[in-house]
Amino acid sequence: MYDKLELLRSKLEFSDYSKDFVLEQYLDDAESFLLSETNRTQLNDALKRIVVDVAYHDYNVDQQFGETSRSEGGVSVSYDKNYPPRILRVINGNRQLKAVKIANENRSKKDVLLKAQMPYRR
């Protein structure tokens, strides 16, 4: 199985390894974005599958240097900076409510405290 960096490199059609550091930053940023947007502490399987897609989209948007449209010789091209609907569906489908996140964090802390306070029995 290919790792995320290799998948991103192949999607961008890069044959050399000179931009690996930059691409790793895009992958890290994509993971952080997905965690913050879904109020999670870890990525689930569905979110792990779109990390490369988010990084790919972000890289392409950054390469447009702020252009929203271009017209040359009668040919007009417009750029959409929003994420594709497929990515947005996965993000929206995996959002956790903040209350659920806080409750889960508090529950795990409480379990650790209870286990630490339990007397040892033979």
pLDDT by residue (tens digit) across 74-103? Answer: 887 776 778 899 999 999 999 987 766 666
State how far the Cα of 51 lies from the Cα of 31, in Å rounded to an integer: 6
Domain that holds residue 67: 4-96
Q: How confident is the model at residue 20 (pLDDT cuts 50, 70, 90)?
A: very high
Is residue 16 in some structural domain? yes
Is the pLDDT confidence value at 28 over 60? yes
Query: What CATH number is attached to the domain comprising 52?
Result: 1.10.3230
In this prediction, residue 113 carries a pLDDT of 52
Is residue 41 in some structural domain? yes
Domain total for the chain? 1
- Kindly list the distances between the CA atom of residue 85 and the CA atoms of 5, 34, 82, 92, in Å, as whole numbers in the listed order: 23, 15, 9, 10
In this prediction, residue 105 carries a pLDDT of 67
State how far the Cα of 54 lies from the Cα of 101, in Å rounded to an integer: 23
Tokens of 118: 């339990």
In this prediction, residue 101 carries a pLDDT of 61
SS3 breakdown of the chain: % helix, strand, coil, rounded to 5?
A: 60, 5, 30
Is the whole-model pTM more than 0.75?
A: no
Is residue 120 in some structural domain? no
Q: What is the percentage of the chain residues whose pLDDT exceeds 70?
A: 76
Is the pLDDT confidence value at 49 over 50? yes
